[in-house]
Amino acid sequence: MKITFKLNGENTAIEASPWKRLIDILRDDFGLKGTKGGCGRIHFDLCLVIINGKTVNSCLVPLFQLENAEVITVEGIGLIKDFPDINLIVKEVLHNKLTYRSGDIIIAVKGLFLEKNIPGEDDIIDALSGIACIGIDYQSIMDGIKRLANMKGRRRRAYIY
Ligand code: FES
């Protein structure tokens, strides 16, 4: 099956089994190793990507669902110019400390603000669900996201590119 879609801002096409998972397509066919599938292994790296403005697990998306979709991976996250920018997320949410889960958290926060202009507590919990790691201080991450949500003067409408 041949599918065309946009990947990190570039029009692209791939021919493969309609059931091939997006995570495998990204890693094997496009060499985008930033998306990781850690389930069942010692690490719990997530496979989050943004598809059409929503955060999804790329291991759950078969190729046939991608026709004309816009996919953003961690490698392309800088293409989403709208609030909050990556520097702001790193400063306010990650407190300038990068860990091996930072990519997941950045994608989760970008996806959250694409979907909700002013996310509430439940939205934030939803966005962080699945990012499980004993090394993460969830309260400080939630506090950082709330600070972002309360910032004045930011643009209200999310856009991509
Ligand atoms: S690989 Fe574990 S949720 Fe996708």
Model confidence pLDDT, tens digit, residues 103-156: 889 999 999 999 988 899 999 999 988 777 777 788 999 999 999 998 865 554
101 within a domain of the structure (yes/no): yes
Q: Is the pLDDT of residue 21 over 80?
A: yes
Domain co-membership, 70 together with 95: no
Q: How much is the pLDDT for 66? A: 97
Domain co-membership, 52 together with 16: yes
Q: What is the CATH number of the domain that holds 104?
A: 1.10.150
% of the chain residues with pLDDT over 90? 58
Compute the mean pLDDT over every residue in the chain, rounded to the nearest whole number. Answer: 87
User: How far does the centroid of ligand 1 lie from the alpha carbon of residue 24, in Å?
Assistant: 11
Q: What is the CATH number of the domain that holds 52?
A: 3.10.20.30
Are 1 and 18 contacting, i.e. CB atoms less than 8 angstroms apart?
yes
62 within a domain of the structure (yes/no): yes
74, 101, 121 - which closes a domain:
74
Q: Is the pLDDT of residue 91 over 80?
A: yes
User: How far does the centroid of ligand 1 lie from the alpha carbon of residue 155, in Å?
Assistant: 32
pLDDT-derived band at 159 (thresholds 50, 70, 90) equals very low
Helix (H) or strand (E) holding 104: helix 102-115
Domain co-membership, 46 together with 101: no
160 within a domain of the structure (yes/no): no
User: How far does the centroid of ligand 1 lie from the alpha carbon of residue 47, in Å?
Assistant: 5
Q: What lines the ligand 1 site, CB under 6 Å?
A: 37, 39, 47, 57, 59
Domain co-membership, 70 together with 84: no
Domain co-membership, 70 together with 85: no
Half-sphere exposure at residue 93, Cβ-oriented, CA atoms within 13 angstroms: 27
Q: Which of 25, 49, 57, 107 to mutate to test the pocket of ligand 1 (most atoms within 8 A of CB)?
A: 57
Domain co-membership, 69 together with 89: no
Domain that holds residue 1: 1-74
Sheet strands side by side (includes 10-15): 10-15, 2-7, 70-72, 48-51, 54-57
Domain co-membership, 33 together with 90: no
Q: Is the pLDDT of residue 41 over 80?
A: no
User: How far does the centroid of ligand 1 lie from the alpha carbon of residue 106, in Å?
Assistant: 17
Domain co-membership, 93 together with 69: no
- The total domain count for the chain is 2
Domain co-membership, 67 together with 116: no
Domain co-membership, 39 together with 95: no
pLDDT tens-digit profile of 56-88?
Answer: 999 999 999 999 999 999 999 988 888 888 889
10 within a domain of the structure (yes/no): yes
> Which residues make Cβ contacts (< 8 Å) with residue 150, sequence separation at least 6?
none
